[in-house]
Amino acid sequence: MHNTCFRAVSSVYGRIDHILIVHIIDNEHSANLEVILNLYKSIPNHVKFFVYVAVQNHDLTASLPVSIPRTVKDFFASVRSNGEPDIRRCTLILNNENGETTSVGSWVQDYFFALESESGIPAFLEHIQFRHQSMYQGDAFIADVLASETDFFLKPFPYAFRGGNILVGDDYMLASKTMLTTNAEHYGKDEALVAEAFRCGFGLRHILWIDYDSAGVELGDLDMFITLGGKTMENNIEKELVFIGQVEPASVVGFGSDQVDAVVQRYNAVLDSVADNIEQPNEYNIPFKIERIPLVVERKGRDQERLRPYSNCLVEVYGRTKNVYIPCYTDSSSDTPYDDGAVLYRAMEYKAKKIFESYQFTVVPIQGDFVSTTNRRGALHCVTNVLKRSESGRTWHIPFSYQTLNYNGNTDGVSTAYLSDNRLT
């Protein structure tokens, strides 16, 4: 692999082939199970699922290894009862096989990033300090187990990142500038050097660092209010389509009528600024087209606000196919499908669906307990990680001159673990 060139798997371009998701089981609930089952049923049959099963409650782990077979049996029984007889495209990856309790987070989007080579070799880009600093030590273990059970291998990266703050297009990515400034300050590096390391590690020609002041709003990572939509034509110019959330009075829930306008203004001041910054001409001459989609803001308790985004979705664009899988915030089996909250969410889902469809997307709503996941600041994109895509139509580049990356192994610049011979290893 010494002279193999890698790049980040796109967030939009290419047919989705492999998806990772975590299934957390304790005495009280099975997190993400409904999402897994509905994705399994709704997404095309060629897609292979890797499901990391984490048994976390002490009462369950105390009875191991009995609980692991029970977990597998119950999971596949759920798959079969969901009307999906073909379980061969689902690979379960188990933790706690030795009776150890390991905490695992649901946000598999965040802790490593899938890479691809021109010859089809897959890899995971992982922050080399992550396993020592994570509040969930099991998160690092997921990448290790996946790499050992598949044809992926691990590539270290010297700086911290969150996958939810990275959206990869063709030969560019949108990334939160917070990652750039935080790494530069933490490691005592120049921002330009850190930025070059990100471009090199992710194998892309350009990074547009998205700088925004989220003080006073609960926006979370970029994927909570932005998603990429592929290419579109405007005024005879081919542009990169970007969907960005927009709050409107009808999408504000749980506030007094005298507070709604202030909530709308507070959020849209930030969202409009992000939209304007992306759409304006940039140094890389990448033209962008911005389209706004509904973003629900719901009040939780006295002083907490949570987003219910439709941008936190899975997108695939390849050939003439354009699919988007969006989270649903209503329960189709609810006994009260016509209460005020359900009516609002159905209206916002319908509006988001129509906007996607206006760009020739086939929209597939995915049911799941996304109200609970968004209470923890994540939705469909956050709980999944697309590991492989095909038919992306992306052009391969050797994009960089690495003369500026003067490093000595562990102090300045980029680790020798993944750079050599002026190419990505």
Ranking 19-23, 197-201, 228-232, 384-388 by mean pLDDT, the lowest is 19-23
Q: Could you give the CA distance from residue 317 to residue 308 in angstroms, rounded to a whole number? A: 24
Distance CA 57, CA 338 (A): 36
User: How much is the pLDDT for 188?
Assistant: 94
Q: Is residue 110 part of a domain?
A: yes
Tell whether 12 is covered by a domain.
yes
Within-domain flag for 421:
no
pLDDT the model gives residue 66: 41
Q: 14 with 388: CB under 8 angstroms? A: no
- pLDDT band per the 50, 70, 90 thresholds, residue 384: very high
Rounded CA gap, 176 and 181, in Å?
9
Query: Looking at residue 259, what is its pLDDT?
Result: 94
pLDDT bucket at 249, cuts 50 / 70 / 90? very high
| H-state helical runs in 82-173 | 130-133, 137-149
Residue 266 CB: number of other CB atoms within 10 A? 14
Helix axes 191-202 and 177-187, enclosed angle (nearest 10): 120
Lowest mean pLDDT among 2-16, 199-213, 333-347, 351-365: 333-347
Average pLDDT over residues 141-153: 78
Q: Percent of the chain at pLDDT above 70? A: 74
Name residue, tokens 């297009």: 169
Report helix, strand or coil for 107.
coil
Domain count along the chain: 1
Range of the domain at 215: 6-396
Confidence (pTM): 0.87
- The answer to whether residue 402 sits within a structural domain is no
Per-residue confidence (pLDDT) for residue 26, from 0 to 100: 63
DSSP 3-state of 350: helix
Residue 163's φ and ψ, nearest 5 degrees, are -60, -30
Within-domain flag for 291: yes
Yes or no: say if 407 and 416 are a contact pair by the CB < 8 Å rule.
yes
The contacts of residue 10 (CB under 8 Å, 6+ apart) are: 168, 169, 170, 389, 392, 394
Q: Is position 309 within any domain?
A: yes
Neighbours of 413 (CB within 10 A): 22
Contacts of 94 (CB under 8 A, 6+ apart): 53, 68, 71, 72
Question: How far does Cα 66 stand from its chain's mean position?
Answer: 33
Residue 206 lies in a domain: yes
Contact (CB, 8 A) for 246 and 292: yes
Position 118 scores a pLDDT of 84
pLDDT digits (tens, 9 = 90+) for 305-328: 889 999 999 999 999 999 999 999
Q: How far apart are CA 222 and CA 228, in angstroms?
A: 11
DSSP string, 281-292: --TT---EEEEE
Mean pLDDT score of the chain: 81
Q: Is residue 412 part of a domain?
A: no
pLDDT at site 401: 42
The kind and range of the H/E element at 161 are none
For the stretch 95-118, pLDDT in tens is 655 445 456 667 888 878 999 988
pLDDT band at 424 (very low <50, low <70, confident <90, very high): very low
**71: domain CATH number?**
3.75.10.10
Residue-wise pLDDT for 121-135, tens only, equals 899 998 866 555 544
pLDDT in tens, 25-84: 765 556 677 888 888 888 998 999 888 877 665 454 444 444 544 555 666 666 666 665
